[in-house]
């Protein structure tokens, strides 16, 4: 259930992840972090659902967050699924989740209940491929029957309380220091999927649990997510998960029934995926480079007549300061008061600035509309996807 201590390859990855994730958290103004966090939640939802075979276009996710749902039933159901995922992660990011330790049965049931309770009815049914029997998924309820997941046969339903009690015991934070807690996230992820406590939704629950665990151990934040890293290597992710289900490979392969070498390999892959995502977000959030991309974008848009001149100084100040008054923003445009207000109004209309509250005199902060994602945050989504209206067959690229 845990990699053995003093596993050098995992120790090195763990120390690197702790160091680099801690540095990432202090790079930006907290207000700007909040806006980017909302963008990352949408990205995390996209990749987590993609692993499950649900390809929901980023623009459809964006529309769903604005309560603009498709009239086409299947697309609308996937939009509602995306909103459910984002809302649960938002609660985690903002500290609105329960106080239970995330690697616990109680927290897993909260995640499943919170996610599934927001799903449309048509997504709460699964079908037995052998008998065509349709079964309803009850939010937060442990499954009441046996299942098969590929070649893996999870524990019988009657055994689930015992397995979940052992799950709570093995990952109790009082038994593990911070390094071991970070190392345990991959093992927790594997073990929950091995137990497969719910009829459906286990993958989403496991990835949200991983996100919550990293936040609780002090290195996770709304600025990065492991789901993008797992989706980029989906075949290897699933293959290593399956390999870690295997039996012990001899006397030197740990002391449990399952292979210790397989678990170490999966945990190493998991930490590498996390480190890859922290490094990716560190690179795209480097302030000077981000400012340069914003400047090039505003210059291009001004030449095309879609944005007024004088927009960049306002956006630059919003990135560096977090928020600013509308009067200050207008003055930064370089125009007289009336024209300055028009520039601010245009930036608000395009979503490049966002009001901090509903009043017309509120301060403004930087916005991150879907139209700028590819220019400001290159490779956040598969190449070209955020700029297309209709989803294609994405290639996951770094």
Structural tokens at position 158: 């009657």
Strands (E), the chain: 125-127, 134-136, 323-324, 353-355, 364-366
Task: Report the distance separating Cα 338 and Cα 180, nearest Å.
Answer: 59
Residues 75, 76, 77, 79, CA torsion sign: positive
Sorted by where each starts, the structural domains of the chain and their CATH numbers stand as 8-285 (1.10.3290.10), 287-376 (1.10.10.10)
Long-range contacts of 304-308 (CB under 8 A, 24+ apart): 306/350, 307/346, 307/347, 307/350, 307/352, 308/333, 308/342, 308/343, 308/346
Residue 151, annotated as binding a ligand: yes
Residue whose tokens read 């807690």: 181
Residue 206, annotated as binding a ligand: yes
Residue 40, annotated as binding a ligand: no
| Residue 227 near residue 44 (C-beta atoms within 8 A) | yes
Residue 150, annotated as binding a ligand: yes
Task: Please identify every residue annotated as catalytic.
Answer: 196
pLDDT at 8: 87
pTM over 0.75: yes
Task: Report the distance separating Cα 85 and Cα 40, nearest Å.
Answer: 12
pLDDT at 398: 29
Partners of 89 in beta bridges:
none
End-to-end CA distance of the chain: 31
Instruction: Give the other-Cβ count within 10 Å of 57's Cβ.
Output: 23
| Residue 92 near residue 214 (C-beta atoms within 8 A) | no
Task: Report the distance separating Cα 88 and Cα 108, nearest Å.
Answer: 12
Written as tens digits, the pLDDT of the chain (398 aa) is 899 887 888 999 999 999 999 999 777 888 999 999 999 999 999 999 999 999 999 999 999 999 999 999 999 999 999 999 999 999 999 999 999 999 999 999 999 999 999 999 999 999 887 788 899 999 999 999 999 888 889 999 999 999 999 999 999 999 999 999 999 999 999 999 999 999 999 999 999 999 999 999 999 999 999 999 999 999 999 999 999 888 777 665 556 677 888 999 999 999 999 999 999 999 999 999 999 999 999 999 999 999 999 999 999 999 999 999 999 999 999 988 899 999 999 999 999 999 988 777 889 999 999 999 999 999 999 876 766 554 443 333 32
Task: Report the distance separating Cα 91 and Cα 94, nearest Å.
Answer: 5
Task: Report the distance separating Cα 297 and Cα 376, nearest Å.
Answer: 8
Residue 149, annotated as binding a ligand: yes
Residue 207, annotated as binding a ligand: yes
Structural tokens at position 168: 């709570």
Partners of 364 in beta bridges:
324, 355
Residue 205, annotated as binding a ligand: yes
């Amino acid at each position: 259930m845990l990699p053995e201590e003093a596993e050098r390859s995992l120790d090195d990855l763990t120390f690197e992840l702790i160091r680099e994730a801690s540095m990432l958290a202090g790079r930006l103004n907290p207000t700007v972090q909040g806006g980017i966090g909302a963008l990352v939640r949408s990205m995390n939802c996209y990749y987590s659902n993609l692993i499950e075979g649900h390809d929901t276009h980023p623009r459809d996710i964006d529309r769903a967050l604005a309560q603009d749902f498709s009239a086409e039933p299947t697309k609308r159901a996937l939009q509602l699924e995306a909103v459910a995922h984002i809302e649960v992660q938002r609660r985690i990011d903002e500290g609105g989740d329960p106080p239970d330790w995330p690697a616990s049965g109680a927290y897993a049931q909260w995640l499943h209940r919170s996610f599934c309770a927001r799903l449309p009815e048509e997504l709460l049914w699964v079908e037995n491929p052998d008998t065509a029997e349709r079964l309803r998924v009850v939010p937060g309820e442990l499954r009441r029957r046996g299942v098969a997941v590929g070649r893996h046969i999870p524990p019988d339903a009657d055994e689930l309380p015992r397995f979940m009690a052992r799950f709570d015991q093995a990952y109790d934070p009082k038994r593990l220091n911070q390094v071991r807690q970070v190392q345990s996230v991959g093992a927790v992820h594997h073990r929950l999927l091995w137990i497969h406590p719910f009829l459906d939704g286990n993958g989403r629950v496991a990835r949200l649990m991983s996100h919550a665990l990293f936040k609780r151990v002090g290195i996770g934040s709304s600025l990065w997510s492991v789901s993008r890293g797992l989706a980029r290597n989906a075949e290897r992710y699933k293959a290593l998960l399956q390999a870690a289900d295997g039996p012990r490979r001899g006397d030197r392969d740990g002391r449990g029934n399952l292979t210790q070498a397989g678990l170490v390999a999966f945990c190493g892959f998991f930490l590498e995926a996390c480190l890859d995502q922290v490094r990716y977000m560190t690179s795209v959030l480097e302030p000077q480079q981000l400012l340069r991309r914003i400047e090039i974008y505003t210059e291009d848009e001004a030449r095309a007549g879609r944005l007024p001149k004088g927009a960049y100084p306002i956006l630059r100040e919003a990135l560096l300061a977090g928020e600013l008054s509308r009067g200050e923003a207008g003055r930064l445009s370089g125009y007289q008061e009336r024209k300055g207000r028009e520039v601010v109004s245009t930036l608000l209309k395009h979503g490049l600035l966002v009001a901090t509250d509903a009043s017309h005199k509120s301060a403004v902060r930087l916005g991150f509309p879907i139209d700028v994602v590819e220019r400001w945050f290159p490779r956040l989504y598969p190449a070209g996807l955020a700029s297309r209206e209709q989803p294609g067959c994405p290639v996951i690229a770094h």
